[in-house]
Amino acid sequence: MKLRLATLAAILAALLAAPLASRAAEPYKNPTLPVEQRVQDLLSRMTLEEKVLQMRMFHANRGIRFTKDDEMQLKGDTAPRLTNGIGGIKNPGESLTPLRAANLNNQLQKHIIDHSRLGIPTVFVTESYNGVDAHGCTRFGRPVNLAASWDTDLTRDVWSVIGREARLRGMHMCHSPEADIIRDPRFGRMSESLGEDTYLTTRMITASVLGVQGGYGGAETDRNTTHIGAVVKHFAGYAQVQGGTNFAAIEISPRVLIDEIFPPFKAAIQQAHALGVMASHGDINGVASHANPWLLTETLRDQWGFNGYVVSDANDVARLHFFMKVAETPEAAAELGLKAGVDLDLYSDDAYVFLPEMAKKDPGLIPFIDRSTSNILRVKFILGLFDQPYTNLDEVERGVRSESSLKLARTFDEESIILLKNQNNQLPLARNNGKKIALLGPLLAKDTKAAFEKIAGPGVTFVADQGFRLTDDNRQRPTLNTDTEAGVEKLVNLAKDADLSVLFVGGDFFTSKEAFFGYALGDRESIDPVGQQDDLVQRVKALGKPVIVVLKHRRTLSINVIAEQADAIVDCWDLSEFGEESIAKVLFGDVCPSGKLPVTVPRSIGRLPFHYSQKEINDKKGYLFTEPGPLYPFGYGLSYTTFAYDKLQISDQEMARDGKVVVSVEVTNTGNREAKEVVQMYLKDEFGQVMRPNKELKGFEKVALKPGETKRVEFTITPDMLVFTGLEMKPVLEAGDYRVMVGPSSANTQAVSFRLN
């Protein structure tokens, strides 16, 4: 009897083990095999319906919940959506602590794998504008602040923390960073970008993607299992919307598209190996980006070699029908998106959901479905999701908001703050015994006074008051506050009793934000500071006491009154969770400002376009009744010390088509304190077969210098820096004369020349 039981047990064990052994033998389950072999093996086993489910993504707020006892619940139609797998889910656990989010995402992933016939995991997707956009992660400054730092190493380090913190909470991809060039500050999403310049954005986006993806190198054997994948957006030209309004049409000349808009995206693919690309809401030459095979397939994949996946912007495949009006039916919209190269349909229930029935009627669609499914599966294999689908909960709390990450957030702030004005060396402030400083204005934060008291020490006393709010703080359509006179009067009275005033003005989230599809607004027709902010500055200045302006904003503002009235201006854009402390450190001299403008600051929006790299003929005429030029040029920023540029040299007066020249300059700290300077190098093609930009940034280096120290900074100029799109819309390397300009900003340079033979 014992023998029979033992035999029966052995047989039963063998039967139970047989399917497991069979699954383990399946090539797509074998981590030692090449990714492409695993992708094709898995694809061959999938049904049409399973393939299309991998091409869809929905938001976790549809019905993914976590109980107080940390048990996952699936509400509404969520469970049926997961019966045969899913391509991705957006923002699961975003409102939870990192540890609880990781727990939820482990449970959710297990449910998806267990309910998928082939055990296919999904990708969980976040966004990252101030660090991971989820509760409990390190809050960094905005991307435009990184551009203001002009520090690629810092940028890579910041994004590496973002990628690591996201992965620890169970995320795998982020719909960030943005490679868009933004030159119209009416557009409410300006602070998501890296500024107006092609080269600066290219350098920064490359560092960002390398950081967030943990240095993933793109080789067949490379994997990304400690960080997340980047979805670079919005491809392409999205920020060039007409009128600066979200969802508007886009007008870009083919030459500008190729020479100025494409390079950051191309570098993100070819140099940083981004795993994802999001298509643009807009159009190119009337062709909707989500229905543009030249853009998404010929350019992105065939020419640039992209092998990740393309995701739609929210609902944009369906919008080809009901918004862009280039498809007569939802089914026609789905076919356009599929054939163009959109692999993953974000949110919509009116587009790719129709593909299974469409493909049964038209088998010619199946190769396109296979292509998209393969692209999505490839990313999942690269991310190691088939081999390591779950987060190690023991690592979460010590890996998220670590001391090194919080320190990095502070460093990021300090490197990005820009000193725009410092009349009579008003800054840094002295810690005089008995000095009384008024901290005033609508952009004052709750912790400003405490931060200043901490940094200044006991010798200075502070009074602080916000006075008034700029808007009613409505997240969709904020309304400007008009009843602010009493608040302004209160602030002026507080300033009367102080030795000097620090005014916190500019703009906030409600005055510059994304204008979501539907009712929400976030763009502006003017870029003047809203409300009574200029009036506040003038009335406090009229008291005859020093006025320091701390400028916070998410779009470029035409600060004419502030520039005229303030004794000093510190430009902060949108800093980290430690921003108030960082501002205080700069004002009291604990930190020497070293940020530089990543955008041009105009006198008015009527100067549009006003980016520094326009064609030379645009400078021929100015405007009646106003001063020429910008308020502050691209690349501008002061310091608490001074720098001298000397002995600009070029290695050769001529350059061969396969050669190079080296330009060098000596930079000396001529002041009495250690500081950093961003040395910038610009090129100008003196004569071209098509009209060329007046100047283009082609190199920069941020150098630290002790008082009296001199460093020689070198820039190597290679032929690829001189290539442009010629008369026949092909890349041209044209012989001729070139001017090299080196200096502390785009408007303050020394020049040498060379000739390309």
Three-class secondary structure of residue 697 per DSSP = strand
The strand pair at 675-685 and 696-705 is best described as antiparallel
Of how many residues is the chain composed? 757
pLDDT in the model for residue 433: 81
Comparison of pLDDT for 161 and 434, the residue scoring more: 161
C-alpha span between 130 and 141 (Å, rounded) = 5
Where does residue 286 fall: left (phi above 0), alpha (psi -120 to 50 degrees), or beta otherwise? Answer: left
Please tell me which residue in 151, 184, 283, 313 is annotated as part of the active site.
313
**pLDDT tens per residue across span 85-99:** 999 999 999 999 999
Residue 326 has pLDDT above 90, yes or no: yes
Q: Which of 277, 282, 307 is nearest to 292 (CA)?
A: 282
Angle at 303 between CA 611 and CA 694, to 5 degrees: 20
- Percent of the residues in the chain that have a pLDDT greater than 90, as a whole number: 96
Band (pLDDT 50/70/90 cuts) for residue 477 is very high
C-alpha span between 124 and 88 (Å, rounded) = 6
**What string of H, E and C letters represents the secondary structure of 340-383?**
HCCCEEECCCCCHHHHHHHHHHCHHHHHHHHHHHHHHHHHHHHC
**What DSSP character marks residue 250?**
B
What are the C-alpha distances in Å from 530 to residues 166, 186, 412, 527, 553?
36, 13, 28, 8, 11
The average confidence (pLDDT) of the chain is 95
Residue 22 has pLDDT above 90, yes or no: no
526 contacts: CB under 8 Å, gap ≥ 6:
186, 605
555 in Cβ contact with 506 (< 8 Å): no
Residue 485 has pLDDT above 90, yes or no: yes
What domains does the chain contain, in order, with CATH numbers? 54-225+383-398 (3.20.20.300), 417-595 (3.40.50.1700), 643-756 (2.60.40.10)
Q: What is the mean pLDDT of residues 545-564?
A: 98
Residue 724, H or E segment: strand 724-725
Residue 41 annotated to the active site: no
Band (pLDDT 50/70/90 cuts) for residue 7 is very low
**pLDDT tens per residue across span 344-396:** 999 999 999 999 999 999 999 999 999 999 999 999 999 999 999 999 999 99
pLDDT in the model for residue 9: 39
β-bridge mates for residue 309, sequence order: 276
Is the backbone peptide bond immediately before 731 cis, with ω within 30 degrees of 0? no
Angle at 702 between CA 699 and CA 703, to 5 degrees: 125
466 in Cβ contact with 511 (< 8 Å): no
pLDDT in the model for residue 385: 98
